[in-house]
Structures are given as structure tokens and as C-alpha cells.
Structure 1
Amino acid sequence: MTTLSTPVENMPVLLQWLSQTIPLTHFLIIIEGCFLKALPPWDILANLWPLTAISLTTLPMVIIFTRNRLQ
């Protein structure tokens, strides 16, 4: 898996784990795979579940923080 600037495989292990928390990483893999490489559906799903997990953790936090600021 490579990103636009540097290959993730060349990064230290801690940064590799950290890069997995960035939604754009998974989104770019899906987009590139769909349009350029004819990525199979199971590979798309393999990159879609981290996006779902990230959104299910960040969306409730945003709602809580926004609700607290508006009150």
C-alpha cells in the first residue's frame, strides 16, 4: 500500500499504525483501485471497514462536543 508521497512500508512501524487512522489513506486506496486497477469488491470492503470504524468513533465525539458548545 502506497500513499501519494511515500510508501507506507518504508515508514517505522509506529507511523504505519498511525497512518491507518487517517481516513484519506483508505479512501485513496478505494478510489485508485476502482478507477485505475479494477479492484475486486472484497479488497474494497477490506479498506471500507476502517473508514466505517473511524466514522463511528469520530461522529459521536463531534456530536457531543458540538452539543456542549451550543448549550
Structure 2
Amino acid sequence: MIYKVYYQENVLEVPVRENTKSMYVEAGSEREVRQLLKGRNFNIELIQLLEGKHLEHEQASPHFELVKA
């Protein structure tokens, strides 16, 4: 399964929408995604499962780069 993770790069800063970044992670569950990112200093805002047309749309983006668990 592929998840889109919305995050802030610094856990100590107040989240600001304009500074939100995203990454795509291939993992078996949301829990695996959180474990993978646990050592990074990220403030995770949302982890969203991508499926169907939504996944196809994201894969068509030039910014789509998959991180594997």
C-alpha cells in the first residue's frame, strides 16, 4: 500500500500550511509508516492511504518519489 505523509520538517516549529511537505511511502500499514519515520525529526500532520484514481493522479505528478519501508 502507498501512503502520502504530510509533515513539517521541524517538530519544534508551529505547523504552517505553507511549510507543509509531503512524501510517499510504501508500507503494509500506517503503523509501519510511523515506525519508518520515527527516527526523523518530523511533525507528522496526516498519513493518508492512496488508492484507485487518487493514487493514479499522484503517480502522474513529477514530484512522485516513493520511499519503501
Q: TM-score range by the shorter chain?
A: under 0.3
Give the TM-score of the pair, scaled to structure 1: 0.27
Higher strand share: 2
**Which one has a bigger Cα radius of gyration?**
1
Higher helix share: 1
**Larger RCO: 1 or 2 (CA < 8 Å, sep 6+):** 2
